[in-house]
Amino acid sequence: MFCFLRKALPLCLFAIFLTGLLQTADAQSKKPKFKVIAFYTGKNDQAHISYMHEANKFFPKIAAENNFTYDSTTDWSKLNAKFLSDYQVVLFLDTRPEAPEQRAAFQQYMENGGAWMGFHFAAFALTPSAFNQDWDWYHEKFLGSGQYASNTWRPTSAVLRVEDRKNPATKNLPETFKASPNEWYRWEHDLRKNPDIKILLSIDSTSFPLGTGPKKHEIWHSGYYPVVWTNKNYKMLYLNMGHNDIDYEGKTNKTLSYTFDNEIQNKLVIDGLLWLGTGKK
């Protein structure tokens, strides 16, 4: 009402100006820091399907808490330059693209400064299998791991050791911590010998014996096993987590463990994602 009084006009104009500034600041504060798109398949293995449902509840929750957006799709044909141009981070929750044009688009995206986080089966390749090693850039150069070599069974917890505390993904982690139950992978190549690869976490020796079998080769008694690493030439993180324990024996297919039911491990995922979305390689 005071705006109609001549003497109060300057005060009125200032109030309007201040309101505009506050509204602008509020709009800017709500603008997402970055956008994430997750690709997944979610078929065949019940352990991966269980993890997939869990991931698609976990990531929207942390997106809301940390001011970024999260979208997910099973349509791998969207892995093209036009679609990816709207996102700063790509997740492979389980598998990898198979079509040559999708693979080419992803490689171009990464070489042009895009960011990626991959989980567990996203690095799997074994010839012969349904996922042959027929993508050298991805498995040999980008991941550096080559083909899958073996795994532990059943899914069990492991004590993980942080090997590099300088990376933003690991800076808030303790020296060692107990991970969620998982099927742990061994790889064809020794990542320690690759100058482009920086190993961030590995399985600590206190974890051995790791696995319960019943087959003897499914139980690890010694050795060196990287779990999380980055390639220095790209903005990327690979995490070997992403395989829930399932009641196969009882034939209920009930989930017995959850990947994201671990506060410390979640800190690794969240800090890693925030680094990929806003930081540099």
Tell me the torsion sign for CA atoms 191, 192, 195, 199. Answer: positive
Q: Which value, to the nearest 10 degrees, does the dihedral of the CA atoms of residues 177, 71, 183, 132 take? A: -140
Does 272 map to a domain?
yes
Q: Is pLDDT above 60 for 94? A: yes
What is the model's pLDDT at position 280? Answer: 73
Confidence class of residue 18 from pLDDT cuts 50, 70 and 90? low
User: Is the N-terminal amide bond of 154 cis, ω within 30° of 0?
Assistant: yes
Exposure of 238 in the CB half-sphere (CA atoms within 13 A): 28
User: Residue 185, SS3?
Assistant: strand
Segment 172-200 shows an average pLDDT of: 98
Beta bridge partners, 203, equal 160
- Amino acid of residue 209: P
Percentage with pLDDT > 70 across the chain: 89
Assign residue 207 the CATH number of its domain: 3.40.50.880
Strand ordering across the sheet containing 197-203: 69-73, 35-39, 89-92, 115-119, 235-239, 226-231, 197-203, 159-162, 176-178
Instruction: Classify 238 as helix, strand or coil.
Output: strand
Name which residue leads in pLDDT, 37 or 12. Answer: 37
Q: Does residue 26 sit within a domain?
A: no
The DSSP bridge pattern shows strands 69-73 and 35-39 to be parallel
In angstroms, the CA 272 to CA 235 distance is 10
Q: Does the residue 20 lie in any domain?
A: no
Domain ranges, residue 132: 35-278
Question: Is 151 inside any structural domain?
Answer: yes
Distance CA 243, CA 185 (A): 11
Bond prior to 128 in cis (omega within 30° of 0): yes
Whether residue 116 lies inside any domain: the answer is yes
Band (pLDDT 50/70/90 cuts) for residue 10 is low
pLDDT of residue 20: 52
Q: What is the pLDDT of residue 26?
A: 47
Q: What is the pLDDT of residues 97-133, one digit of tens each?
A: 999 999 999 999 999 999 999 999 999 999 999 999 9
Residues 6+ apart with CB under 8 A from 76: 39, 41, 97, 98, 99, 102
pLDDT in tens, 130-146: 999 999 999 999 999 99
pLDDT at 2 > cutoff 50: no
As to burial, measured by CB atoms within 10 angstroms (0-12 exposed, 13-18 middle, 19+ buried), residue 137 is middle
Give me the pLDDT at residue 16, please.
53
Report residue 190: phi and psi, to 5°: -85, 105
How many domains does the chain contain in total?
Answer: 1
Among candidate residues 45, 41, 42, 51, the one with its CA nearest the CA of residue 248: 45
Residue 202 is assigned to a structural domain of this protein: yes
Q: What average pLDDT does the segment 263-268 reach?
A: 98
pLDDT score of 267? 98
Residue 104 belongs to a domain: yes
7 domain residue, yes or no: no
Residue 198: pLDDT over 50: yes
H helices within the chain, ranges in order? 9-30, 46-66, 81-84, 100-111, 136, 263-278
- pLDDT at position 4 is 44
For 212-265, what is each residue's pLDDT tens digit?
Answer: 999 999 999 999 999 999 999 999 999 999 999 999 999 999 999 999 999 999
Q: Identify the CA nearest to 36 among candidates 254, 259, 210, 237.
A: 237
